[in-house]
Structure 1
Amino acid sequence: MTTTPDKARETPQRTLAQSGSDLHSYPSPQTGAASSRATRKSGNASRAPSAGRAEGAAEHVAALVSEVEPGARLGTKEELRSQCGVSVGTFNEALRLLQSRGLVTVKPGPGGGLFSAEQSPMVRLGNSVLALDAQQSDVANAVRIRDALDPLLIEDALWHASPADISGLKDHIAAMEAAVGTADPVAFVHANWRLHAAIAAISPNALLSSLYSNLLDLIEAHTLTVLPASEEPLEHYIAHRHELHRDLVDALERRDRDAALHLIREHNTSLQPEEPAAER
Structure 2
Amino acid sequence: MDPVAPSPSVNKPSGFAGFAPPRAVRSEASPRGGATGRADQAADRVAKLIETVGPGSRLGTKDELRTLCSVSVGTFNEALRLLQARGLVTVKPGPGGGIFSAEQSPMVRLGNSVLALDAQHNDVAEAVRIRDALDPLLIEDALWHASPADVSGLRRHITAMEKAVTAADAVGFVHANWRLHAAIAAISPNALLSSLYTHLLDLIESHTLSVLPASEQPLGEYIAYRHELHRDLVDALDQRDREKALRIIHEHNTSTPSTGPTPTPTAH
Aligned to 2:8: none
> Are 1:268 and 2:236 counterparts?
no
1-structure distance, mates of 2:146, 2:37: 43
Is the 8 Å Cα contact of residues 112 and 255 (structure 2) preserved in structure 1?
no
Is the 8 Å Cα contact of residues 3 and 170 (structure 2) preserved in structure 1?
no
3-state SS, counterpart of residue 36 of structure 1: coil
TM-score, normalisation: structure 2: 0.76
> Which of residues 9, 22, 34 in structure 2 aligns to 1:37?
22
Aligned to 1:150: 135
2-structure distance, mates of 1:157, 1:53: 53
2-structure distance, mates of 1:181, 1:93: 33
2-structure distance, mates of 1:71, 1:133: 15
1-structure distance, mates of 2:187, 2:94: 52
> Are 1:120 and 2:105 counterparts?
yes
> Which of residues 168, 171, 175 in structure 2 aligns to 1:186?
171
Is the 8 Å Cα contact of residues 111 and 252 (structure 2) preserved in structure 1?
no
1-structure distance, mates of 2:161, 2:122: 28
Aligned to 1:17: none
2-structure distance, mates of 1:94, 1:174: 37
Is the 8 Å Cα contact of residues 21 and 216 (structure 1) preserved in structure 2?
no
1-structure distance, mates of 2:134, 2:114: 22
Alignment of 1:230-245 (within 5 A): 230-245=215-230
1-structure distance, mates of 2:239, 2:210: 35
Aligned to 1:163: 148
2-structure distance, mates of 1:184, 1:56: 25
Higher mean displacement: 249-258 or 150-159: 249-258
**Which amino acid in the other structure matches residue 27 of structure 1?**
S
- CA shift for structure 1 position 99: 2.8
1-structure distance, mates of 2:154, 2:85: 29
Alignment of 1:1-280 (within 5 A): 21=2, 26-29=13-16, 35-40=20-25, 48-49=30-31, 58-77=43-62, 79-80=64-65, 92=77, 94-109=79-94, 111-126=96-111, 128-269=113-254
**Which amino acid in the other structure matches residue 146 of structure 2?**
A
Is the 8 Å Cα contact of residues 200 and 213 (structure 1) preserved in structure 2?
yes
**What RMSD over aligned residues (CA atoms) do the two structures have, in Å?**
3.3
**Which amino acid in the other structure matches residue 49 of structure 1?**
P
Is the 8 Å Cα contact of residues 110 and 128 (structure 2) preserved in structure 1?
no
Gaps of 5+ in 2: 5-11, 257-268
Is the 8 Å Cα contact of residues 26 and 124 (structure 1) preserved in structure 2?
yes
Gaps of 5+ in 1: 1-19, 272-280
TM-score, normalisation: structure 1: 0.73
Is the 8 Å Cα contact of residues 102 and 131 (structure 1) preserved in structure 2?
no
Q: How many residues align?
A: 246
1-structure distance, mates of 2:112, 2:39: 28
Given the superposition, is the C-alpha separation of residues 78 and 140 from structure 1 closer, same or farther in structure 2, using an over 3 Å criterion? Answer: same
Given the superposition, is the C-alpha separation of residues 175 and 58 from structure 1 closer, same or farther in structure 2, using an over 3 Å criterion? Answer: farther
2-structure distance, mates of 1:164, 1:219: 28
1-structure distance, mates of 2:195, 2:102: 35
- CA shift for structure 1 position 241: 1.1
**Which amino acid in the other structure matches residue 14 of structure 2?**
P
**Which amino acid in the other structure matches residue 226 of structure 2?**
R
2-structure distance, mates of 1:52, 1:260: 50
2-structure distance, mates of 1:54, 1:251: 51
**Which amino acid in the other structure matches residue 163 of structure 1?**
P
Is the 8 Å Cα contact of residues 128 and 226 (structure 1) preserved in structure 2?
yes
Q: Which string of whole-angstrom CA distances, capped at 9 and with x for unpartnered residues, describes residues 191-223 of structure 1?
A: 211111111111111011011111112211221
Q: Which string of whole-angstrom CA distances, capped at 9 and with x for unpartnered residues, describes residues 52-101 of structure 1?
A: 87666555433332221111122344554566677766655554443344
